[in-house]
Amino acid sequence: MKINSIEEYNGRIKRVLVSESDIKREVKKAGELINSIYDGTPILLVSILKGAFVFLADILREVTVPCELDFMEAKSYFDGTNSSGTVSITKDLKHNISDYHVVIIEDIIDTGRTLSEVIKLLKARNPKSFKVITLLDKPDRRVVELSADYSLFTIPDYFVVGYGLDCGEYYRNLPYIAEYGE
Q: Which residues are catalytic?
A: 110
CB 3 within 8 A of CB 11: no
Query: How is residue 153 annotated by DSSP?
Result: E
CB 106 within 8 A of CB 115: yes
Residue 90 in 3-state DSSP? strand
- Burial of residue 121 (CB within 10 Å: 0-12, 13-18, 19+) is middle
CA distances in angstroms from 73 to 28, 64, 153, listed in the order given: 25, 26, 22
